[in-house]
Structure 1
Amino acid sequence: MSIMPFTTLTCPLEGEPLSRTDGGWRCPQGHTFDVSRQGHVNLLPVQKKRSLDPGDSKAMIAARRRFLEAGHYQGIAEAVSRRVLSHGLAHESLAILDAGCGEGYYLRALAGVESARRLSLLGLDISKWAVQAAAGRDKRMQWVVGSNAALPVPDQSLDVVLCMFGFPTPAEFARVLKPGGLLLEVEAGPDHLIELREIIYPTLKAPRETRQAPAPGFAFDTFDAVRHERSLGSAEQIADLLVMTPHLYRASAEGRAKASALARLDVTVDVQLRSSRRL
């Protein structure tokens, strides 16, 4: 795999193209954005934050990194990589955004696949802790603190957008994707982590209905499912799974106590991969 620099960023204040300088990025209006020691850039202005420290916490990112590096979601990463690399013609390069990249697991997995494709990779997350962790692991990608609500990339500049268990913003995704571009959304299926959910909740909500109509500006392309079982063989792995998900905050104190008492848990990984094509 050939990984190329991602250079088509835009100013989050003016929307104009950013140019790389010695220590950061600069727009024609004079706004500058420094590159951190880890190598990422913060393109989330303070006036556009809804809290002082938005997104996943440092503890959530550390737990997710340990859980993912143990291979529990490797099947998801492999399915995503296959779908992305099948997009377009084999000789074409691809500009790819992971919108809500977390600590970068899925982009690193994609970059590690043997392929003749040339990829330009951008990982974006609203959590500074996530982007710091991602940038510290792999310098080949461009890592950005930013928001899916206002993606800092030009119109029709991307071939692929990934939204992995994230917060989809279809209008923004349609804006930044080229005509024919791929939007790949990964969502929890009805049985995803059901064994954990049965322990931490007194009753389970009915599964959400599968979306029947594509978002405006898109046409459904393919629908795939990834399902397998994983064994969590320690209290630490079970705790990491709980901490890295929103279930930590939704569960009752009693439910969290039940989970913390476990030394082993077999869980179902059940996710849906929905790809759509930009019209």
Structure 2
Amino acid sequence: MPLMPLTQLLCPLDQSALLQDGNTWRCENNHCFDIAKQGYVNLLPVQNKKSLDPGDSREMITARRDFLNSGVYQPLAEALANTVDTLCDGRQQLAILDAGCGEAYYLNTVCEQLLKSGVELTATGLDISKWAVRSCKSRNAKLNGLVASNRQIPLPDNSQDIVLCTFGFPVYSEFKRLLKPNGHIVMADPGPEHLIELRKAIYETVRRNPVTDISAALEDNWHLSLSNNLQFTTPVLSAAQFEQLLVMTPHLYRASREGRERAAKLQDITLSADVFIRVISQT
């Protein structure tokens, strides 16, 4: 069963329904949004942008694509795919949104797993970075691609079965609005030991922060239905992989000059991955 296209969006200017008309999405008030040649649609209004080119840069997205394609984080991708597959077992139709999809490595892995069961699947990658959404479409042209913010997701109420948020910035009110009854928010967040070796090299003082607090989501009949801590050690990283990792994470941009110099001297390094996968579900 192939991936399915979206049939309706919300206009970011007036929240009315957008319907596709050829290569344009149009609302009843004649607000129009053209489909880019790469196949995505930009629904991030200028007034909602905090910069001319918001989100991750082209350089960061390219580095993340190349690093993830090398398979270093494959255990995490497989764990997410298995989690979603278990949540959706027995369903014949599914809609999944990756809110903050990056270049869609995780979303695509999840879709590959779900499609094995013959489900009719509509999968959408959303990111504030146009470079991320372009890379998402390049990875799999059948994925729906939206440039938009998690603060105003241009999808109808009760339209999604799963909202995936991997190392992202959740907006729980929007996620809950989108989800159908018995829907789930699937989150992956770094644990205290994630990339600890890299952080020790870069920073004078390393903080082992607790996993992201999700208490704000646990209200109004929503509860934590699953929490797994995935830990693994990466293979020895090549010089190219290590450079990609530095560019794709915020650590390079937060580090001092001395910290960057220390990181540049690291060789034949393996890193600790420490990720919490949690599912927030309706009671």
TM-score (norm 2): 0.94
- SS in structure 2 at match of 1:66: helix
Q: Within 2, Cα distance between the matches of 1:40 and 1:272? A: 31
Correspondent of 2:267 among 263, 270, 277: 263
The CA deviation at 1:262 is 2.3
Q: Which amino acid aligns with 1:66?
A: D
1:92 Cα deviation after fit: 2.6
1:33 aligns with 2:33: yes
Q: Deviations over 1:131-176 (max 9, x none)?
A: 1111122111110100000000111111100010000101111111
Of 225-234 and 162-171, deviating more is 225-234
Aligned mates of 1:105, 1:210 — CA distance in 2 = 22
Higher alpha-carbon deviation: 190-199 or 216-225? 216-225
Contact 1:24 1:35 survives alignment (8 Å):
yes
* Residue from 160, 163, 174 that aligns with 2:162: 160
Runs of 4 or more off by more than 3 Å in structure 1?
209-214
Aligned to 2:75: 75
More deviation in 209-218 or 248-257?
209-218
Q: What is the aligned partner in structure 1 of residue 235 from structure 2? A: 231
Identity of aligned residues (%): 46
User: Could you say if the C-alpha distance between residues 160 and 241 of structure 1 is closer, same or farther in structure 2, counting changes exceeding 3 Å?
Assistant: same
Q: Structure 1 residues 77, 27: CA separation in 2 closer, same or farther (over 3 Å shift)?
A: same
Unaligned runs of 5+ in 1: none
Matched, 1:194 2:193: no
Give the letter for the 2:73 counterpart. Answer: Y
Aligned CA-pair RMSD: 1.5
Q: For 1:70-149, list aligned pairs within 5 A.
A: 70-113=70-113, 114-149=116-151
* Candidates 219, 222, 225, aligned match of 1:221: 225
Match of 1:170 in 2: 172
Equivalent residues of 1:228, 1:268 under 8 A apart:
yes
Alpha-carbon distance change, 26 to 210 in structure 1, aligned in 2, over 3 angstroms: closer
TM-score (norm 1): 0.95
Q: Deviations over 1:237-274 (max 9, x none)?
A: 11111110111111111111111122321101110001
Tell me if the contact between 2:190 and 2:211 (Cα under 8 Å) persists in the aligned partners.
no
How many residues align structurally? 279
